[in-house]
């Protein structure tokens, strides 16, 4: 693709009033440079998606959209979560953009990697992943758990790009295919590789958060990981049978041990058999019920077919309509 194309940069925001001025400034710089290099058109846009923020995030986005021709915004009616906000932005931007970049508002992902993504797109890639070249900014706990998660997902057979979050570029065609997936329980890091098409990677160093606090505490990270596991593999359900057999073998071993101890007169009558039965059966049942419950809950959410997001206001579409007139 040699002619300048229209680029959309989607930025999900939740209570990001502290970082938005700097994020807008940095992304505007990137777009301006790309326009000057005749790689993208001057009607390319930064689409900030307000995911039901409780601070001044939306008024700031609204004000920036009036002052900066590159800036526009989408306001969701309530908080739909990071993945829902991403999808809302991609839905809006992909209608008129030839390619869409998604990036978080905290500036931890290096905006200077976007021109490299654009170059990969021009060279023929339809999906370009931003991949971290190190995890120096993470704590040892987060680094180890992230590595374990990627290995576990690979063992489950889920195709996911290690050390790649939601910083990526997708062509218009790839976006349309992505939007055809109708999951309510969204895990885009697992869905995007399923889209196919030619892909490539751009490596970058992840930075410290520019301002504000992380919107992904441990509780949300664990839920996110569980969504990823249960949305793409039924291996955990299959593992239940293996776990059941394993517990049964342990129970048999304990039973043999108990009989030996009883023959030697070292066991209180009735205590061992009762405790073994309670712990063995109770443990197996609780684990099985909880794992199956996760999948039943997913089915419950999916079959209702509720909207994955609701847009209250779409400044991006409003600007696009004005430009076309």
Block means of pLDDT (10 residues each) for the chain, 325 residues, are 86 90 93 92 92 90 90 90 88 90 90 93 92 69 65 66 84 90 77 85 78 56 62 66 73 75 67 70 74 72 70 77 66
Tokens of 142: 């987060």
Contact at 8 Å (CB) between 174 and 127?
yes
Question: How many whole angstroms separate alpha carbon 254 and alpha carbon 247?
Answer: 10
Tokens of 277: 């039965």
Question: How many whole angstroms separate alpha carbon 325 and alpha carbon 322?
Answer: 5
pTM for this predicted structure: 0.69
User: What is the pLDDT, as a whole number, of residue 301?
Assistant: 65
Q: Where are the domains of the chain?
A: 7-216+307-324, 235-303
Question: How many whole angstroms separate alpha carbon 285 and alpha carbon 324?
Answer: 61
Helix H or strand E segment including 143: helix 140-155
Question: How many whole angstroms separate alpha carbon 213 and alpha carbon 302?
Answer: 32
Question: How many whole angstroms separate alpha carbon 161 and alpha carbon 68?
Answer: 35
Nearest to 172 by CA among 104, 102, 95, 74: 95
- For residue 180, the tally of other CB atoms under 10 A from its CB is 8
CATH domain 7-216+307-324 topology:
Spore Coat Polysaccharide Biosynthesis Protein SpsA; Chain A (3.90.550)
User: What is the pLDDT, as a whole number, of residue 227?
Assistant: 63
User: What is the pLDDT, as a whole number, of residue 171?
Assistant: 93
User: What is the pLDDT, as a whole number, of residue 187?
Assistant: 75
User: What is the pLDDT, as a whole number, of residue 267?
Assistant: 60
User: What is the pLDDT, as a whole number, of residue 31?
Assistant: 93
User: What is the pLDDT, as a whole number, of residue 112?
Assistant: 92
Question: How many whole angstroms separate alpha carbon 195 and alpha carbon 191?
Answer: 7
Helix (H, G, I), strand (E, B) or coil at 164: strand
- Whole-angstrom CA distances from 82 to 166, 185, 220, 304 are 10, 12, 11, 21
Helix H or strand E segment including 168: strand 164-171
Question: How many whole angstroms separate alpha carbon 118 and alpha carbon 34?
Answer: 9
Sign of the four-CA dihedral 83, 112, 105, 209: positive
Nearest to 47 by CA among 91, 82, 3: 91
Nearest to 153 by CA among 234, 242, 228: 228
């Amino acid at each position: 693709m040699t002619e300048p194309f229209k680029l959309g940069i989607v930025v999900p925001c939740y209570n990001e009033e502290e970082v938005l001025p700097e994020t807008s400034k940095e992304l505007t710089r990137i777009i301006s440079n790309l326009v000057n290099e005749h790689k993208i058109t001057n009607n390319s846009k930064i689409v900030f998606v307000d995911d039901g923020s409780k601070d001044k995030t939306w008024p700031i986005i609204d004000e920036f959209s009036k002052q900066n021709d590159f800036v526009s915004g989408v306001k969701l009616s309530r908080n739909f979560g990071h993945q829902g906000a991403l999808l809302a932005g991609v839905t809006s931007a992909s209608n008129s953009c030839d390619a869409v970049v998604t990036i978080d508002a905290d500036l931890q992902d290096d905006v200077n990697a976007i021109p490299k993504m654009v170059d990969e797109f021009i060279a023929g890639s339809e999906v370009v992943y931003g991949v971290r070249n190190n995890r120096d900014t993470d704590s040892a706990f987060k680094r180890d758990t992230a590595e374990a998660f990627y290995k576990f997902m690979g063992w489950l057979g889920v195709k996911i790009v290690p050390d790649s979050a939601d910083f990526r570029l997708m062509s218009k065609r790839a976006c349309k295919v992505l939007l055809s997936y109708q999951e309510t329980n969204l895990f885009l890091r697992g869905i995007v590789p399923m889209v196919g098409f030619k892909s490539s990677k751009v490596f970058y160093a992840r930075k410290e958060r520019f301002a504000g606090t992380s919107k992904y505490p441990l509780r949300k990270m664990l839920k996110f990981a569980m969504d990823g596991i249960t949305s793409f593999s039924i291996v955990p359900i299959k593992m239940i049978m293996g776990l059941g057999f394993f517990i049964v073998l342990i129970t048999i071993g304990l039973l043999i041990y108990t009989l030996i101890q009883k023959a030697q007169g070292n066991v209180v009558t009735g205590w061992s058999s009762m405790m073994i039965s309670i712990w063995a059966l109770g443990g197996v049942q609780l684990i099985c019920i909880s794992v199956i419950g996760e999948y039943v809950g997913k089915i419950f959410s999916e079959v209702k077919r509720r909207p994955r997001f609701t847009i209250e206001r779409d400044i991006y579409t409003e600007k696009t309509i004005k430009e076309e007139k």
